[in-house]
């Protein structure tokens, strides 16, 4: 089954095609935009464009290269998505394990699975980075370009633990091998390590039109939604196919837990806060990470509100009393610290207790 078609983004496509056909395509791109808006799908489209044998303004969809890319089987296309951290102790074994995990994900994608958010604790661990370096050091199999896609590049783990490998990655992005194209994607460029961000040319994808989301859902979802159910999904998507596909409860759970925590922090010390800090026994580390992401999103929305920008989800009234975004941004930094600590082996309850105090201090 070929990939699901790329929806929308006509402007970005034109821009990329014009650059590619005049040999002005940057070798390292950072594609940003809403969750589920099609960033990695656009990266795959771009891979098809540069590998297509016809060199027109859109991939031809018919040549051998195009068909291989659409089947995720092109030997010069390397697609990295966040995966669980390999368990082996030996670094070489870890790389093998990462390669197997990635192959498994590609198998699912080939079977036509629709977009789903990666698990909260999945990452690009050192093993994935090593695998990327190994592949990048080889030459092109088909004799043409090579494309490396790094989805959710904000999941490139903080790499102080292994400065050697981290530096090698940075060097790779600074001086990419001839004919290699690196496409990184992320929801928010500020979440990507600054050292990586500074080496990439940004490309921002805008929201899709409701009509585009609607037509994708009716053509691709089985059973195809219709009537009010379809409109609820389109509305929930707010310009993103991924948002329209996500089950309402899944993301909703993380947001309501984050909301409870914020409400308790804002209410000040007392039994409610103690309860909030003690209460949620996170079944999986991924749930905890998802809650932190929801918390960060909510604080970000409040920061937007202080700047007079439209707010896209409900935020606690008490957060809106801030006149400037500064305290909210500081709170977001504390959440980011907790998120980083959560990659390690720190107990979520312990992190939550510290975070609660930190937030009470800055908010």
The 10 Å Cβ neighbour count of residue 221 is 14
Q: Is 209 strand, coil or helix?
A: coil
Q: Is the preceding peptide bond at 223 cis, omega within 30 degrees of 0?
A: yes
Query: What minimum distance in Å lies between the beta carbon of 6 and Zn ion?
Result: 14
Would you say 63 or 353 has its CB closer to Zn ion? 63
Would you say 59 or 243 has its CB closer to Zn ion? 59
Q: Is 80 strand, coil or helix?
A: strand
Q: Are 195 and 163 in contact (CB under 8 A)?
A: no
Query: What minimum distance in Å lies between the beta carbon of 81 and Zn ion?
Result: 24
Going by their DSSP bridges, the two strands 77-80 and 146-150 should be labelled as parallel
**Distance from C-alpha of 212 to C-alpha of 117, rounded to nearest angstrom:** 20
Going by their DSSP bridges, the two strands 201-204 and 146-150 should be labelled as unpaired
Phi, psi angle pair for 165, to nearest 5°: -70, -40
Would you say 63 or 165 has its CB closer to Zn ion? 63
Query: What minimum distance in Å lies between the beta carbon of 71 and Zn ion?
Result: 13
Applying CB under 5 A, the residues found at the interface with Zn ion are 52, 60, 63, 66
Would you say 68 or 354 has its CB closer to Zn ion? 68
Query: What minimum distance in Å lies between the beta carbon of 27 and Zn ion?
Result: 21
Q: How far is CA 339 from the centre of its chain?
A: 15
Would you say 144 or 280 has its CB closer to Zn ion? 144
Q: 186, 232, 240: which is closest to 7 by C-alpha?
A: 240
Query: What minimum distance in Å lies between the beta carbon of 177 and Zn ion?
Result: 23
Query: What minimum distance in Å lies between the beta carbon of 52 and Zn ion?
Result: 3
**Distance from C-alpha of 187 to C-alpha of 31, rounded to nearest angstrom:** 8
Rg of the chain taking only CA atoms, in angstroms = 21
Phi, psi angle pair for 8, to nearest 5°: 70, -155
Q: Which residues pair with 165 in a beta bridge?
A: none
Would you say 71 or 248 has its CB closer to Zn ion? 71
Q: Are 285 and 348 in contact (CB under 8 A)?
A: yes
How far is CA 153 from each of CA 20, 168, 193, 274, 291, rounded to the nearest angstrom? 23, 16, 9, 35, 19
Would you say 52 or 355 has its CB closer to Zn ion? 52
Query: What minimum distance in Å lies between the beta carbon of 57 and Zn ion?
Result: 12
Would you say 55 or 171 has its CB closer to Zn ion? 55
Query: What minimum distance in Å lies between the beta carbon of 25 and Zn ion?
Result: 17
Q: Are 148 and 74 in contact (CB under 8 A)?
A: no
> Is residue 33 classed exposed, middle or buried when 0-12, 13-18 and 19+ CB atoms within 10 A define those classes?
buried
Would you say 70 or 306 has its CB closer to Zn ion? 70
Query: What minimum distance in Å lies between the beta carbon of 23 and Zn ion?
Result: 18
**Distance from C-alpha of 171 to C-alpha of 174, rounded to nearest angstrom:** 5
Q: Are 183 and 41 in contact (CB under 8 A)?
A: no
Would you say 75 or 311 has its CB closer to Zn ion? 75
Query: What minimum distance in Å lies between the beta carbon of 18 and Zn ion?
Result: 18
Phi, psi angle pair for 299, to nearest 5°: -65, -40
């Amino acid at each position: 089954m070929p990939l699901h078609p790329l929806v929308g983004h006509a402007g970005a496509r034109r821009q990329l095609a014009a650059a590619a056909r005049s040999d002005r395509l940057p070798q390292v791109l950072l594609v940003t935009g809403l969750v589920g808006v099609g960033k990695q799908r656009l990266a795959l489209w771009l891979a098809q464009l540069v590998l297509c044998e016809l060199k027109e303004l859109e991939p031809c969809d018919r040549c051998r290269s195009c068909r291989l890319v659409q089947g995720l089987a092109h030997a010069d296309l390397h697609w990295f998505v966040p995966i669980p951290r390999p368990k082996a102790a030996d670094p070489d074994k870890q790389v093998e394990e990462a390669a197997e995990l990635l192959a498994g994900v590609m198998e699912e994608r080939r079977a036509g699975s629709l977009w789903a958010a990666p698990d909260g604790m999945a990452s690009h661990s050192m093993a994935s980075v090593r695998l990327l370096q190994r592949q990048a050091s080889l030459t092109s199999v088909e004799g043409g370009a090579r494309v490396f896609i790094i989805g959710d590049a904000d999941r490139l783990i903080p790499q102080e633990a292994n400065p050697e490998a981290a530096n090698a990655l940075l060097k790779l992005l600074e001086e990419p091998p001839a004919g290699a194209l690196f496409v990184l994607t992320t929801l928010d460029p500020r979440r990507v390590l600054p050292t990586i961000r500074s080496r990439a040319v940004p490309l921002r994808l805008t929201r899709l039109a409701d009509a585009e989301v609607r037509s994708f859902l009716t053509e691709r979802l089985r059973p195809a939604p219709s009537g009010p159910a379809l409109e609820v999904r389109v509305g929930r998507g707010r310009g993103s196919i991924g948002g329209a596909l996500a089950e309402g409860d899944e993301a909703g759970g993380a947001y309501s837990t984050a909301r409870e925590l914020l409400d308790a922090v804002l209410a000040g010390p007392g039994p409610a806060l103690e309860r909030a800090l003690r209460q949620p026994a996170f079944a999986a580390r991924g749930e905890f990470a998802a809650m932190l992401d929801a918390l960060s999103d909510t604080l970000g929305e409040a920061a937007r509100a202080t700047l007079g920008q439209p707010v896209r989800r409900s935020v606690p009234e008490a957060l809106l009393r801030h006149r400037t975004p500064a305290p909210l941004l500081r709170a977001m930094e504390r959440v980011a610290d907790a998120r980083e600590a959560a990659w390690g082996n720190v107990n979520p309850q312990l992190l939550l207790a510290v975070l609660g105090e930190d937030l009470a201090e800055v908010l």
